[in-house]
């Protein structure tokens, strides 16, 4: 009888631990999904009011009497800067929340990366010129690949924007695109090199983490919030590639992205 009672207790304990583990698992997984949905929804919802605020500030800046008041213009200018920062933050959070939940799918379309890099350079040239930075592109005449055009352009913008931000006036930023054949497979190589402040070796991994900024006040002043490289890494990972940094403090940094790819032939088919 004692043995039967022991067995009964053992089975009861097994059943209870089974139920407890199920109970513990379901809400955690569920709340994690809910949390991602919440971040995605919240950042999406923030974008409309932010764009309304931005256009209202524009209207105030152009208003006849207010537009002439230097103090009001300064305050409105500051407000505009902060609203732009929040808009960028909301957009970046939305990108990461969607990538986490797997709802942000990459396109695989034929594109010429040289054309996209040239467009990117044109849009960032004013930023570089404002700091007398020499921004150069070295790329083959055409670079036909398959990939997600918007995301690859976003990757270039993130890396080049950082290179400009963290390089003192009068510096040099080079973007180099090339194709290498490694073990019979083609690989796209994107290099973004700057003559900026550099990153110490112990930080080379950490800078890709979400919200990581080496110097919070400097990054904030420059309009950053520590999500740029996390998004860059997600884009590279989603293309089955890798991203590495080589850097020397006070001399500059070189970010190298490698993405395996299949070349496009002229009739749009893959080789």
Q: How far is the CB of 9 from ligand ADP (least distance, A)?
A: 55
Q: At what angle do helices 228-238 and 149-165 cross, to 10 degrees?
A: 150
Regarding 156 and contact with ligand ADP (CB under 6 A), the answer is: no
Cβ distance to ligand ADP smaller for residue 40 or 199: 199
Choices 21-29, 61-69, 130-138, 206-214; region in contact with ligand ADP by CB under 6 A: 206-214
Cβ distance to ligand ADP smaller for residue 144 or 228: 228
Cβ distance to ligand ADP smaller for residue 247 or 264: 247
Cβ distance to ligand ADP smaller for residue 234 or 261: 234
3-state secondary structure of 189: strand
Q: How far is the CB of 163 from ligand ADP (least distance, A)?
A: 5
Side-chain half-sphere of 5: how many Cα atoms within 13 Å?
2
The two most distant CA atoms of the chain are separated, in Å, by 96
C-beta of residue 97 within 8 angstroms of C-beta of residue 119: no
Regarding 97 and contact with ligand ADP (CB under 6 A), the answer is: no
Structure tokens at 212: 């990581």
E-assigned strands of 141-202?
Answer: 144-147, 172-182, 185-194
Regarding 199 and contact with ligand ADP (CB under 6 A), the answer is: yes
| Closest CA relative to residue 173, chosen from 257, 258, 259, 253 | 253
Residue that has been written with the tokens 């960028």 in this structure = 88
| Closest CA relative to residue 160, chosen from 186, 192, 123 | 192
Q: Does an H or E element contain 123, and which?
A: helix 113-130
Regarding 171 and contact with ligand ADP (CB under 6 A), the answer is: no
4 to 43: interface string for ligand ADP, x by CB under 6 A: ----------------------------------------
216 to 255: interface string for ligand ADP, x by CB under 6 A: ---x----xxxxxxx----------------------x--
Regarding 128 and contact with ligand ADP (CB under 6 A), the answer is: no
Among 44, 80, 214, 263, binds ligand ADP (CB under 6 A): 214
Please, what is the Cα angle at 18 between 15 and 23, to 5 degrees?
125
Q: How far is the CB of 44 from ligand ADP (least distance, A)?
A: 21
**Separation of alpha carbons 196 and 167, rounded Å:** 4
Choices 46-54, 59-67, 101-109, 209-217; region in contact with ligand ADP by CB under 6 A: 209-217
Residue that has been written with the tokens 């150069």 in this structure = 136
Cβ distance to ligand ADP smaller for residue 39 or 222: 222
Among 43, 95, 162, 195, binds ligand ADP (CB under 6 A): 162
Q: Does an H or E element contain 256, and which?
A: strand 252-260
C-beta of residue 207 within 8 angstroms of C-beta of residue 186: no
Contacting residues toward ligand ADP, per CB under 6 A = 162-163, 166, 194, 196-199, 207, 212-215, 219, 224-230, 253
């Amino acid at each position: 009888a004692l043995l039967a009672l022991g067995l009964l207790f053992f089975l009861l304990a097994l059943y209870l631990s089974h139920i407890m583990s199920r109970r513990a698992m379901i809400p955690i997984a569920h709340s994690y999904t809910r949390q991602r949905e919440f971040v995605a929804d919240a950042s999406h919802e923030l974008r409309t009011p932010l764009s309304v605020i931005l256009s209202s500030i524009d209207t105030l800046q152009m208003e006849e009497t207010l537009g002439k008041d230097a103090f009001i213009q300064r305050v409105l200018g500051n407000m505009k800067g902060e609203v732009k920062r929040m808009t960028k933050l909301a957009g970046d959070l939305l990108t990461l929340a969607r990538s986490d939940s797997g709802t942000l799918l990459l396109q695989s379309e034929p594109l010429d990366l040289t054309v996209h890099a040239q467009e990117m350079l044109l849009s960032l040239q004013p930023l570089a010129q404002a700091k007398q930075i020499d921004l150069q592109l070295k790329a083959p005449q055409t670079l036909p690949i398959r990939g997600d055009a918007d995301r690859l352009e976003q990757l270039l913008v993130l890396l080049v924007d950082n290179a400009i931000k963290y390089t003192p006036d009068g510096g040099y930023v080079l973007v180099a695109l090339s194709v290498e054949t490694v073990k019979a497979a083609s690989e796209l190589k994107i290099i973004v090199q700057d003559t900026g402040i550099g990153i110490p070796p112990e930080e080379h991994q950490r800078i890709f983490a979400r919200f990581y900024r080496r110097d919070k006040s400097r990054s904030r002043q420059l309009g950053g919030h520590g999500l740029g490289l996390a998004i860059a890494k997600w884009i590279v990972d989603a293309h089955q590639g890798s991203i590495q940094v080589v850097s020397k403090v006070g001399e500059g940094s070189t970010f190298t992205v490698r993405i395996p790819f299949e070349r496009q032939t002229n009739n749009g088919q893959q080789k």
